[in-house]
Amino acid sequence: MPDLRSLDLNLLVVFQYLMEDRNLSAVARRMGLSQPAASNALRRLRATLDDELFVRTPQGMLPTPYAQHLAGAVAESLGMLAHALEASPGFDPASSTRRFRVAMTDVGEIHFMPGLMDRLAREAPAVRIESVRLQGAELQRELDAGHVDMALGAFQGLGGGLLQRMLFRQGYATLFRRGHPTAHEGMGLKAFRAERHLVVSHAAPYGQVNQALEKAGLMLASHFSVPHFAAVPYIVSTTDLLATVPRKLADSAAERFNLRLLTPPLRVPALQSNLYWHRRFQRDGGNQWLRALIVDSYAQR
């Protein structure tokens, strides 16, 4: 058996075209080669396979028995390779049962998951999304390994091998219950500091709001705290606490929990939410489809 490492794939293309055309000049034109280059390719192929392969006759270049033996396998292999190289494998959302693992924060789940579930129910009824809670180096490793398909939201510390698409930027708003005795839109920093606050202690990657609160003079340790955003609207709606949260969460919670909101008298950097995926899956059909769906649903126009 010939050593496959010594076999140039282009020589198999010459072989295939000679099987079809039986004319070396026609093969040279088809491949954009000079006549000497095509002759040299055939000479190399003969040496590699140790067979004459094609013999010149009045009827053209006719294959030897060994060439006829190879013909079917070469044609099938080249056809399969050409098909594989044409495009990434197709993905049919209407019939797929694929399960995507998407990294989100808790506030990301609140914002993204309801809309994604609605779109999937209408366009891909058997496709499922599993939200996973990962950050930093651990998230990077899982994306690198392909165990997580993409990350969606405001993440920090992601780097090599990843591609990203910005979805939107947002500021912050402060939630308070309707009927709160002192809180109101336009309140100054001194009055704002005097209120009791609910702090989200594990707010990464939204920690800049806590830094802004401390810089404004609030001693966070003297206020109430919860580890995540999910409980915030439930607590604020039944107490006189104020909670400063990402604007999209505030808008959604205000409507559902009968809350009001004010612009906090703080300087807080805008929060940017991105879509991240590994470049290894840039051409994966399912990954492409879900990315397009997310961008269509959530990207800032």
10: in domain? yes
Contact 241, 224 (CB under 8 A): yes
Structure tokens of 22? 């039986």
Same domain membership, residue 254 and residue 189: yes
Contacts for 219 with CB less than 8 Å, ≥ 6 apart = none
CA distance 221 to 201: 10
Q: With 90 as the cut, is the pLDDT of residue 210 above it?
A: no
Same domain membership, residue 285 and residue 163: yes
Please tell me the chain's helix, strand, coil percentages from 3-state DSSP, rounded to the nearest 5. 45, 20, 35
Same domain membership, residue 164 and residue 276: yes
In the chain, how many H helices and how many E strands?
A: 11, 12
Give CB contacts under 8 A, 24+ apart, made by 33-39. Answer: 38/14
Q: With 60 as the cut, is the pLDDT of residue 190 above it?
A: yes
241: in domain? yes
Same domain membership, residue 128 and residue 191: no
94: in domain? no
Same domain membership, residue 165 and residue 240: no
93: in domain? no
Last residue of a domain, one of 86, 109, 124: 86
CATH number for the domain including 53? 1.10.10.10
Number of separate domains in the chain: 3
Give the model's pLDDT for residue 78. 86
Helical (H) or strand (E) element with 229: none
In 3D space, the residue among 151, 152, 148, 200 whose CA is nearest the CA of residue 174 turns out to be 200
Going along the chain, which residue ranges are E strands? 54-57, 60-63, 99-103, 128-132, 150-153, 162-170, 172-177, 198-200, 224-226, 243-246, 259-262, 271-278
Same domain membership, residue 289 and residue 159: yes
75: in domain? yes
Mean pLDDT of 162-172: 94
Same domain membership, residue 264 and residue 205: yes
Same domain membership, residue 66 and residue 110: no
Last residue of a domain, one of 86, 116, 135: 86
Give the model's pLDDT for residue 205. 59
136: in domain? yes
Query: Residue 4: pLDDT band by 50, 70, 90 thresholds?
Result: low
CA distance 243 to 175: 5
Contact 76, 84 (CB under 8 A): no
Give CB contacts under 8 A, 24+ apart, made by 25-28. Answer: none
Same domain membership, residue 47 and residue 14: yes
* Chain mean position to CA 66: 49
293: in domain? yes
Same domain membership, residue 283 and residue 161: yes
For residue 165, what are the β-bridge partners?
A: 275
Same domain membership, residue 107 and residue 256: no
91: in domain? no
Give the model's pLDDT for residue 86. 64
Count of beta carbons in the 10 Å neighbourhood of residue 243: 28
pLDDT averaged over the chain? Answer: 90
- Note the pLDDT tens digit of each residue in 100-127: 999 999 889 999 999 999 999 999 999 9
* Chain mean position to CA 284: 10
Residue where the block lists tokens 């293309």? 13
Structure tokens of 55? 């013999």
Mean pLDDT of 148-153: 94
Same domain membership, residue 184 and residue 153: no
Range of the domain at 63: 4-86
Last residue of a domain, one of 37, 56, 86: 86
- Note the pLDDT tens digit of each residue in 32-91: 889 999 999 999 999 988 999 999 998 889 999 999 999 888 988 888 887 667 656 678
CATH number for the domain including 106? 3.40.190.10
